[in-house]
Structure formats: C-alpha cells, structure tokens
Amino acid sequence: MGKQKLSSKGVQNSGCTKATLWWFYLVAACIKVLLFPSYRSTDFEVHRNWLAVTHSLPLSQWYFDETSPWTLDYPPFFAHFEHFLSMFAHLIDPKIVHLQEGLNYSANTVVYFQRGTVILSDLCLLYGVYRLTRNLDSRKQKLIWLSAIWSPMLFIVDHVHFQYNGFLIGILLISLSYLEEGRDLLGGFFFAVLLCLKHLFAVAAPVYFVYLLRHYCRGGIGRGFTRLLIMGGMVAAVFAAAFGPFFHLGQIQVIRRLFPFGRGLCHAYWAPNFWVFYIMSDKGLAFILRRLGFNVQTPTATFTAGLVGDSSPFSVLPQVTPLVTFMMVLLALSPCLLKAWKDPKPQMISRWVAYAYTCGFLFGWHVHEKASLHFVIPLAIVAVQTLEDAKHYFLLSIVSCYSLFPLLFEAQEYPIKVLLLLLHLILMWSGFSAQFPDGAETARAPTGHHTEKKVDQHKSNGGFVIGWIERMYLVGLVIVEIWGQFLHPLLLGDKLAFAPLMLISIYCALGIMYSWIWQLTFIVKSP
Amino acid sequence: MKGKGTSDTVSVVDGDGNQCCWWWWLVHKGTTTTFLIVGLFALLVRAAVSLHPYSGFANPPKFGDYEAQRHWMEITINLPIQEWYRNSTSNDLSYWGLDYPPLTAYQSFIHGLFLRFVHPESVSLFTSRGHESYLGKLLMRWTVLSSDLLILFPAVLYFVIVRYGQPSRSRKSDIGWHIAMLLLNPCLILIDHGHFQYNCISLGFTIGAVAGVLSGKDLVACVLYCLALNHKQMSAYFAPAFFSHLLGKCLRRKHPLLEVSKLGFYVLGTFAAVWWPYLYSKDSILEVLSRLAPFERGIFEDYVANFWCASSIIFKWKRLFRSESLRILSLTATVITCLPSMIQQIKSPSNRGFLYGLLNCSFAFYLFSFQVHEKSILLPLLPASLLAMEEPFIFKWFMQFAMLSMFPLICRDGLVVPYFALLALFILIFDAPGQQRVKEGNYLYNYLGATTVRLVLFCYFILHIVYLTMNPPEKYPFLFEAIIMNVCFSQFVLVTLGCNIKQWVLNKPTKLEVDKKFI
C-alpha cells in the first residue's frame, strides 16, 4: 500500500519518467555500440569526407570541393554540424579530417568516432520524444518509447548503414511538439532549421505553411498580418543564417548541389512506392504489345541511373518528369491541406505531417527507401491513440522495416536485421495487446472519438487482433523473404538476379499504398 | 477472451507505480511471451557481439580457441571415430588435439558437417589449418548461436517454468527480470560469442539438470547432468553438489539403496551411450581419458583469480612443490572446501540449499582445484545467476568481479568494446527502473558497509582504466594482472564465505518443495 501511495502520479511523474526514458536510450545505446563493427555503406565515407571538407577548407570552398566523389550535398546547417563534429574528430585522430589521406580511412578510431556521434546525436530524438510524450499517461509513454527509441529502422539505417536520421527526425519531433502545445512560432522555427539541415524534409512544408497560416496568423486581418510578418521574418532569418554566407560569396552552387534533378526517377534499389507499379505496368504493357506485333522500342536508359536525357526510359506509358511527380505529391496532399485550412487542430498536426511524408515517399522523385523513416517515427507517436491506429502502425512499421532489408545485403548482418524486425514485431504485439485488451479500453483514448465508436461497434470483443487480410499479407512477407533468400538462388540460380529485390519492392509498395489510403481516409473522416 | 478481461480489470486496479505497470508491455501475455521477447533480445545481443573478433584472430601459428574448435570439426569429419583422440600422421595431437569428452567431439562433427556443406574449404583436412575467412567466421559464429538457441534457451525456459510455476501478476516482471539475468549473462556471451567457445551447451545441460532436480525429476536431472559432464569435463565442478543433494534425497526415501542404484543405472547408461564408440577396448578408453586429464599442465594458467595464483606472489607454488604433490594438495583443499556444503545437503536436502550448494562447490573447485582457467569462472557464475532472485546483491557483485577477472583475456582478444557495452547492459537491466527489489538489505552488503562498497566499486573502475591506459613497470610486467587477480580473489572469497554461511543458516526446510518465499 505504502509503495502505491508513494509512487502515485504526482510524485513519480517527472523524475521517474526521465529516468525510464534514459534507461530506454541507454539500453539501445549498448546495442548500438555492439554494432560498431557491422557493415557500413558508402554513406559512412560520405560523412567522413564531409568532416574533412568542412574541417580543412574555408566556408567558401565547402560546396566546390571535388577531391572525393562524395561531395557535400546537404544544406548549410548540416555542413556546420559536420564542422562542429570535425573539431572533435581532429582531436581524436587528425587523419579522419585529412582531405586526401583520409580517403576511405577505416581505422577503428574513425569507425568508433563516427558511430559514436550518431549515438550521441540520437539525444535529439530522445528530447523530441520526451517533449511529445511527457504529458501522456505512463503506459502510452512506454509504448511510444518502445517503438520510437527502439525503432528497428533507426538501428538499420543509422547504426548499421550509417546516417544521422535519428538526429534529424528528433528535430522534426521537437517542432511537432511545439506545434501541439500551440507554440507555433517555435514550431515553425525548428522546422525551418530542419529544412536547413536536410532539405528532403521540405515535403511537409505545404502542410506547415497552411497550418501556420491558419492557426498562427489568425484573429483579424491586422493581427493576422502582423503574425504572418513575424513568422515570415523568422523563417527568412533562419534561411538567411544558413544560405546567406554562401550567397554573399555569390555561390548558386549550393542550390545546384542540393537538387540533383539529373538523377533518375528511382533510386538504385526501387523504393517501395507508386512508381514501382508504374514501371511494372509499363514493362507489362510493352511485353504484351510486343507479343501483339507492335513495334515497341526498348528504352536505352535505366530508371535508376543518373542520366535521363533525351532517351525515354518508358516504352509505352508517358514520361515522368520531376514536375509531374511534384504535381502528384501536391495533389495527394490536397485533402490534407484542405482539412488544415478548414480546421487547424494542433492534435492533428503530427498525422498531417506524417501523411505529407507518406505522399512524398509514394509519388516523389528519386526517393530513397530510407525516407520511410520520416513518416513511420511520427506515426509511432500517434499509434497509441486508438486501436485502429495501433493496427495500422503495427502493419506499417513491419512493412517499412522489411523494405529496408536490402540495405544490409551482407550475410553477416542477416541475423541482426531479422532479429531486430522480429523483436519489434513481438514487442509491438505484446505492447498493443496490453494497451488494448478489449473494446472497452479504447473509449478512454483522448482523441478521435468518432472513429472509436465505430471501432467499438465493429469489434466490441476484439482487442488487439489484426484482421485476416493483414495476417495473410504478413505471411506473404515471410514467403517473399524465403523466396528471395533461399528458393530463388536454389531454383533459378543467377538468372533474374534482380527479381527478389523487385519482388520486395512491389510487395512492400502494396503495404505502403495501403497505409497511405488508410491515413488519407482517417484524415478525411476526422471531424 | 475471459482471461484478457480479468487481466484488464487487474491492470486498471494497480496503480501507476506498481512494477507490473512499468513492464506490463513485457509481461502482459504471460511467461512464454516474456521469455520470447527477452530471448529475442538476448539473441540480438549475441548476434551483435559475434561481429567482433575472436580469440587468436589473425595470430599464427597457433591462433586460439576459435582455431581449436574449427580444427576439431576438421578432424571429426575427416577421420573415423576411433582416431579422433589418437595421435597419428593425420591427427597431430600437439596441434589443438581434442581434449574434451566425446560429446564435444560429436558436436564438432555435426557442426563440421554443416560447415562442409556450405564452405568445404574451411574444414578440409590439413589445408584448412588456420583458415580464416569472412564466410568461415560467419558459419562458425552461427554454430554457436544455434547451440545457444537449441540448448541454453530451452533449458532456461524449463528452469523458469519449474521455479516459478504459475506466477501471480505482481511477480511476472520479476520473472522477466530473472530470465534476462539468465540469458544476458555478459561473461557467458563474451566467452561464447566473442572469444569463441561452446560453454552454452554444457551450461545449458546443467541448467536443465538443475531444473530437473527442482521439479523432482531426478532421473532426468541425472541424464542431463551426465551430458553436461560429457561435453566439458569442467562440469565436474558441480558434481559434489548433485551427488550430495541426490544422495541426501535418496536417504530420505523408503528404499534408499534402490533409489541410489536407479540413479547409478541412469548415470552409467548415459555414459555408456556417449562413450559407446570407445568401449571396444580398454586402451581406447584410456586413450580418451588421458586426453581429458590435463595433469601435464601447471596448477594454473595465465592469471586466474584463484587461491594458487593469488597466493603465488608470496609462495612460489610451482617452485616449492613438484607437480604430483601439488595435485594432492589442491585435491585436498578442494575437497575440504566442498565438504561443508555437501554435508549440509546430505543432512537436509532442499531446493534452495541445492542451489547454494552448486555455487559453493563450484567455487571450491574454481578457487582450489588444479589447472583452472580464467574462463572457468562461468561455472560458479551459473548457480549465482540461478540464485539471482534470492541474492541480487551477491549476484551483481560477483558478476562484476567475474567480468574483471576475465578482463586481461578480453583485452588480448580485442573485445574491449563489447566488454564495456555488455557490462553496461547488464547493470542497466539489473537496475531496470520500476522494480521494488530490495538490493541493499543484504548481509554481504551490510558486512561491507555502504562506504566500502562504493570504494571498492571506485577501485574497480580505476583498475579498468589503469589496465587499458598505463604500461606496467618493466620489472613487473604482470603487475596489473596480479593486482586484478588478487582483488577478484578477495571478493570471490567473500562471496563464497557468505554463501556457505547462508546455506548453513537455511537448515529449516526439509520438505521437497519449490520454495516460494524469498527476501
């Protein structure tokens, strides 16, 4: 009894919450440290080169250096971030930041240092998650931490493959947390900072724009206009701080580096998005037409290579240009923008932003499969709100994690990626079924009352049980994996070596399309 | 559905601070799911550790334990079974000859078949000596992972089910914690998946045997323990405890002689089955046996935190006595230190007393027996981890110093990073938030006092740093090793003294029951 009283909500809230959050972070950090010697992609060398570039060259040369093929192509704030890290790198081992001698340097010092910086920069994610969840009840908190801080996708992309997504998504979450609290100016500020760290996050800019315009700049024409000026001035100031010095030197080069539209529609491994279906139907149509006797030209350029040029990669269907993809993203976004315009609710902003990134992922130009992190992590934050959310997130997180499997293609990491996914799956399953034991529980969730009632009617006895279609889909995932790993090499050998990867792309694209439609319906139906 | 409904009401009732609320996402579905989650996590940790280098990596001509295991696979799949332990032109016993009992050889054979199927070059006769390749390392690592998964993990599940039965809700998170303590033993992971050995097999069989004893299935326990013994002769550290407990139990039954002979029959049967290929002649049995007894080696190797090594800074045992007299001396010392806990178990066998007995006997062997490796600390560590719930402080204390005692070895293997990561992970999970386990109210803790504990811990971390960063004085090149071993030895003595006393204090329970009460 005494214990219960002692730890009743008021006393234990902040101190214990923080301790537990740190615990989650530190346990993850131990695993991340253990993963130090695992496979690392060329992104590792890319980032090492940026350390060298920013350390050894003056600001004016950052975007011009071509010593290594991995030139700096992130916005200026990220370059400054690398510059900051390079100061420590120099202390640890000067060779890391040496422009020529450091090329492809792979001693323990550089590996440990760079991997260590990723772990430390994850503190940003930790803070973002903390800000977003600090007022929730302790069970929901833990479930969110489980899925966001122990996200298997972050492990795969950041700590094995090597990138700084945890850091960047952390800033996105900080921005979202300010918006949810109604502190729009700070929310806008952090989003502007994020854009100057990695411009790929700009996909959500329309949502931010409409939301801030309607939520922050309201209250009559005079007040609204003043606020618009304040917000605009602040965003402009952030961008000026980032790009100003470069433009002052007369460098438009920065922009050219940031937007390499010369690249193809798809990345080397096709991200599981809408274009996969487009390409497949083009191939299919071409095949059928050829069979029917039409003269269909075989395209000379591939979809993935750098050059699009004059040659047409599609043989039957119309060409896709960056402008087309841009329009499609906007079109897909429009229902969400409309909602944000009509009723800019702070509780919905995370969903809207996640939806924006989903659209960008599905219809964007030259999308990386890693970009699915941008919407999976924000969706983790809202996954505990309703039972339907939980079911959707469960499926989505598994599919998008699986779609990252081809990133780690070496045999050594195979058990690790499979175990990460399985652990995530069972943790989510166990956590969600504890959170939603049966229909009655969902009624206590704070938002989205409308949907809950529907849920209650349909699945009053349900609890966290995923439907048979979803179940079949997940079983299909296992079959795709077994086919790609074992049966294909066994039955077909080296023939059609690209087929397993294509199969993964197509199959995961189905899941992501489903998630997109689900999110769209949710947003449209929300009151 | 009904079960879910009731659990829901309970979960609403118990407040935010209750421990099952912290861990409800882990324990909600019951012991098996908890085990599955912790087990997957433990596997992930093992898979991550296995990325690191192994003993003797790129270190010709003898390499290390990794090469030994690979060489055994090479020998067992290429030579007929009778020649495995025999020196011949095709089996040079001076180069990592088999020196473990037949079960290890069979295990090598099976793993060797797997390696030959996937990557024949790595186990071809003669030509594969010192074979090191990306795929070879991977396959070898996977054989350890699979052994762990097939033997240690089920054994732990068996133990936990036997030990806790159907738990009440409030204890579920404790069980989760105990499973994690058993599966995330940092020493075992480092040695098996870092350094490269197959301790998980013999230790797994031992855990199974302990679970068998706890559940009253003595015959199952006998068979499993014999298998452990036939995988690694070091499992004999537990023999006095098993012997005395089972004897004590039999003496309390109606027909003691019948019971004892039944157990003896099972033991002999298991041994006969394992040794079958060598039973055709006396010579062949002796041939194998002579490989198992390491008497030609010294009383200790390298630096071990046992009595002989620790006291050798004052008494040069190796110089003062001949090997034979040392053998007798060490045997006497071991038996004497085993006796108290054996007598206690024969007098009043109990499940808890049995676990303490395992700890005390294996400690006696570790501290006083002949030819002890630093890796042998895994054996006393096993019963300590089985007792983690009753003796959390002792377990943690012991684990920390067990880690320290292997630190020089770990440094040689280049496993410093996983060492610290695993140590941190162990402490984090041991002190996981939301637990109400009383850790400080322990007799050892009280005896030492809070200040001393902090001081010792401070020295503990300083020792690590000193060992890593400083060079020893030229006159005493092994100064730091000696200090580390003496510090560890002193703590081990404290732990075993404490546990011996504890075992004798528990003289009450004479009934064979799963004890439910703990601190």
DSSP string, A377-417: HHHHHHTTSSHHHHHHHHHHHHHHHHHTGGGS-SGGGHHHH
Does the structure show a pLDDT above 50 at A35? yes
DSSP, res B506? T
Q: How far apart are CA B282 and CA B384, in angstroms?
A: 39
How many domains does chain B divide into?
Answer: 1
Distance CA B420, CA B166 (A): 36
**Range with lowest mean pLDDT among A33-37, A225-229, B156-160:** A225-229
Tens of pLDDT, residue by residue over A459-496, are 444 678 888 888 999 999 999 999 988 888 888 877 77
Looking at residue A444, what is its pLDDT?
43
Angstroms from B35 CA to nearest CA on chain A: 11
Tell me if B111 is assigned to some domain. Answer: no
Enumerate the residues of chain A whose CB falls inside 8 A of the CB of residue B134. Answer: 412
Tokens 């003797």 appear where? B56
Distance between CA atoms of A313 and A300, rounded to whole angstroms?
A: 7
Which of B375, B403, B418 minimizes the C-alpha distance to B49? Answer: B418
Residue A426 has its nearest CB partner, among B37, B425, B428, at B37
Q: Which residues of B touch A418 (CB under 8 A)?
A: none
- In this prediction, what percent of chain A has a pLDDT beyond 70? 88
Distances, alpha carbon B392 to alpha carbons B444, B458, B502, B519, in Å:
11, 20, 14, 10
What global pTM score does this model have? 0.90
Mutation choice for B interface testing from A6, A17, A430 by most B CBs within 10 A:
A430
User: A130-138, long-range: CB within 8 Å, 24+ apart, which pairs?
Assistant: A130/A18, A130/A21, A131/A173, A131/A174, A131/A177, A131/A178, A132/A173, A132/A176, A132/A177, A132/A180, A132/A350, A132/A381, A133/A381, A134/A14, A134/A17, A136/A384, A137/B16, A138/A17, A138/B16, A138/B21, A138/B22
Q: Inspect the interface and report whether the beta carbons of A27 and B428 lie closer than 8 Å.
A: yes
Are A337 and A324 a contacting pair, CB within 8 Å? Answer: no
Handedness of CA B304, B306, B309, B314 (dihedral sign): positive
Does position A2 have pLDDT exceeding 90, yes or no? no
pLDDT score recorded for residue A438: 64
Closest chain B residue to A5, measured at CA: B17
Residue predicted with more confidence, A448 or A481? A481
CA B67 to CA B73: how far, in whole Å? 10
- What is the SS3 assignment for A461? coil
Count Cα atoms within 13 angstroms, Cβ side, for A396. Answer: 29
C-alpha separations of A366 from A181, A272, A295, B483 in Å: 35, 12, 29, 60
pLDDT at B420: 96
The reply to whether B458 falls in a domain is: yes
Q: Is B118 within 8 Å of chain A by CB? A: no
Query: Nearest CA of chain A to the CA of B427: how many Å?
Result: 10
- B456 within some domain: yes
Length of chain A, in residues: 527
CA distance B104 to B202: 9
pLDDT of residue B508: 53
* Contact check, Cβ <8 Å, A112/B417: yes
From residue B279, how far is each of B268, B274, B287, B289, B439 by CA, in Å?
13, 10, 11, 12, 52
Report the pLDDT value the prediction gives residue A12, as an integer from 0 to 100: 47
Calpha distance A152→A377 (Å, rounded): 11
**Which of helix, strand or coil describes residue B40?**
helix
Q: Which residues pair with A266 in a beta bridge?
A: A367
In a domain, B275, yes or no: yes
Q: Which domain holds residue B479?
A: 28-58+132-506
Residue range A284-333, pLDDT digits in tens:
888 888 888 877 766 554 554 433 333 346 777 888 888 888 999 999 99
pLDDT of residue A266: 72
Separation between Cα atoms, residue A104 and residue A92, nearest integer Å: 17
Handedness of CA A69, A70, A74, A75 (dihedral sign): negative
Q: What is the 3-state secondary structure (H, E, C) of A492-525?
A: CCCCCCCHHHHHHHHHHHHHHHHHHHHHHHHHHH
Reply yes or no on whether the pLDDT at A335 is more than 90. Answer: yes
CB B42 within 8 A of CB B48: no
DSSP state of B300: B
Give B-chain residues touching A4 at CB under 8 angstroms: 14-15, 17-18
Q: Identify whether the C-beta of residue B386 lies closer than 8 Å to the C-beta of residue B277.
A: no
pLDDT band at A10 (very low <50, low <70, confident <90, very high): very low
Query: What are the residues whose beta carbons fall under 8 Å from the beta carbon of B361, sequence distance 6 or more?
Result: B237, B238, B239, B240, B241, B338, B341, B342
Residue pLDDT, tens place only, A41-65: 999 999 999 999 999 998 888 888 8
Q: Is residue B108 part of a domain?
A: no
Query: In Å, how far is A280's CA from the nearest CA of chain B?
Result: 36
Residues on chain B touching A142 (C-beta within 8 angstroms): 22, 25
Which residue type, as a one-letter code, is found at position A264? G
Q: Where are the beta strands (DSSP E) in B432-490?
A: none
Q: Has residue B64 been placed in a domain?
A: no
Residue A214: count of CB within 10 angstroms of its CB:
15
Q: What are phi and psi of A262, to 5 degrees?
A: -65, -15
CA B343 – CA A479 distance, rounded (Å): 59
Average pLDDT, chain A: 85
For chain B, which ranges sit under pLDDT 50? 1-20, 440, 509-519
Q: State the pLDDT at residue A460.
A: 43
| Confidence band of A368 (pLDDT split at 50, 70, 90) | confident
At A511, list the tokens. Answer: 């899941």
Residue with tokens 């045999």: A411
Phi, psi values for residue A255, rounded to 5°: -65, -40
Give tens-digit pLDDT for A170-192.
Answer: 999 999 999 999 899 999 999 99
Token look-up 């998008």 returns A400
- Which pLDDT belongs to residue B15? 39
Q: Which of B16, B138, B424 sits opposite A138 (nearest CB)?
A: B16
Tell which wins on pLDDT, A428 or A6. Answer: A428
- Exposure of B166 in the CB half-sphere (CA atoms within 13 A): 0
Nearest to A523 by CA among A381, A367, A373, A332: A332
How buried is A6 (Cβ within 10 angstroms: 0-12 exposed, 13-18 middle, 19+ buried)? exposed
Counting residues of chain A whose pLDDT is more than 90, the rounded percentage is 51
Checking if the pLDDT of A78 tops 90, the result is yes
Alpha-carbon distance of B17 to B25, in angstroms, equals 15
Which of A7, A427, A430 faces B16 most closely, judged by CB atoms? A7
Looking at the partner chain, which of A20, A139, A427 has a beta carbon nearest the beta carbon of B24? A139
Q: Residue B158 domain-assigned?
A: yes
pLDDT of residue B21: 62
Note the pLDDT of residue A262.
65
Find all residues with CB under 8 Å of A524, minimum gap 6, and list them.
A335, A339
